[in-house]
Amino acid sequence: MSKVEIIDQTLLQHAAEAGAAASRRRKNYNFHATDRDVCHRLLNAVEPDSYIPPHCHLDASKDETILILRGRIGMVLFSPEGDVSGTSVLEAGGEQIGINIPHGQFHSLVALEPGSVFFEAKAGPFQPLSGAEKAPWAPSEGDPDAIFYHNKLKELFLSR
How does pLDDT run along the chain (160 residues), one tens digit per residue?
A: 568 999 999 999 999 999 999 999 999 999 999 999 999 999 999 999 999 999 999 999 999 999 999 999 999 999 999 999 999 999 999 999 999 999 999 999 999 999 999 999 999 999 999 999 999 999 999 999 999 999 999 999 988 7
Per-residue b or e along 19-49, where b marks 16 or more CB atoms closer than 10 Å to that residue's CB = bbeeeebbbbbbbbeeeebeebebbbbbbbb
Q: Domains in the chain, start-ordered, CATH in brackets?
A: 9-127+135-155 (2.60.120.10)
Inter-residue contact 116 to 74 (CB < 8 Å): no
Q: Which of 28, 43, 35, 16 is nearest to 119 (CA)?
A: 43
Q: Spell out the residues 6+ positions from residue 103 whose beta carbon is closer than 8 angstroms to its own.
A: 56, 57, 58, 59, 60, 61, 62, 63, 64
Task: Confirm if 112 and 74 have CB atoms less than 8 A apart.
Answer: yes
